Amino acid sequence: MRRRYRYSPRSYRSWGRATQSKEYKLERLIGASALDMIIQRFYTATSNEIELILRVYALEYGQSALAYARNTLPKWKSNATKLSGQTKERLVRCVPECLQANERYDIAKEICLFYESKRHKKIAHISINTDEPQEGLARVYDTIQSFYEAREIIELPEDLTQAISWLAKDDVTIARALLAKVEQESANRVEKRAYGDLEVVESFLAKEEPAQINQTIEFPNGSISLSTYTPRKPFLKRLVSSIFGG
């Protein structure tokens, strides 16, 4: 007698959620852009590169995982079978191990940019007294300088470099140091532009009757909002000014 199996739609839904959850966690770990770069590189790998990737895959995940990967590889490449979240996670660990240093650099750069975009943005608000602007301007200069501290290397979370070991390799560490240098050069250019913006503000404040200013100086890691105010004179001073001028 032939057995009949009942499949619950709920089990399919839960499997789908689990797969999405793994992929979602992976995107949160390295960013969607880096993940896409690694998967696309896997799809375009040569036969020799595939063999190298599969050797690393077998060392990491065993022979049964290797056998499944070999059998499913043509379907993955033709998109007949969708890569699961688990498979993508494994490819993230294995594919870059088999690439040239310059390709690992490009992937590491995307991961670094992803983490840089998540950094806390510093926001400063400074009001400048138009009657006595020097104190406010001094605060602005100090704040601009505080926005940047030279870093020897772009930091990545320790749990990330432990989970994805190739991110801790020497060539990637050198790449992260190079990115820190590029970031600092970019910061210097932004800082120079910020001082230029501040000179314009100073020229406005130097006028006999300066206009009110509301301006924002943008930085990659935050912003400074500048505004001006003119203190209201006491009644007697206002009365004298209205009668005699000045």
Mean pLDDT on 165-180:
84
Bridge-based pairing of strands 122-129 and 214-219 is: unpaired
Q: Which pLDDT tens digit goes with each residue over 113-162? A: 888 888 778 899 999 998 889 999 999 989 888 877 667 777 788 878 87
Percent of the chain with pLDDT over 70: 85
**pLDDT for the residue numbered 43:** 95
For every residue of 45-97, DSSP letters joined together read --HHHHHHHHHHHHHHH-HHHHHHHHHHHHHHHHTSSPPPHHHHHHHHHHGGG
Q: Which pLDDT tens digit goes with each residue over 82-123? A: 999 999 999 999 999 999 988 998 998 899 888 888 877 889
Residue with tokens 């314009």: 200
**pLDDT for the residue numbered 17:** 53
**pLDDT for the residue numbered 12:** 39
C-alpha 175/C-alpha 126 separation (Å) is 37
> Hey, what are 32's tokens?
């969607």
**pLDDT for the residue numbered 211:** 76
Q: Which pLDDT tens digit goes with each residue over 192-227? A: 888 888 888 888 888 877 778 898 988 877 889 999
**Spans of all domains in the chain:** 10-99, 122-244
Q: Would the pLDDT of 37 be above 50?
A: yes
**pLDDT for the residue numbered 238:** 52
Output 4 or 96, whichever has higher pLDDT.
96
The single-letter DSSP state of residue 211 is P
Q: How many other CB atoms are there within 10 angstroms of residue 183's CB atom?
A: 19
pTM score, whole prediction: 0.67
Q: Which pLDDT tens digit goes with each residue over 62-86? A: 999 999 999 999 999 898 999 999 9
Q: Would the pLDDT of 13 be above 50?
A: no
**pLDDT for the residue numbered 82:** 93
**pLDDT for the residue numbered 1:** 47
C-alpha 176/C-alpha 11 separation (Å) is 43
Q: Which pLDDT tens digit goes with each residue over 38-54? A: 999 999 999 999 999 99
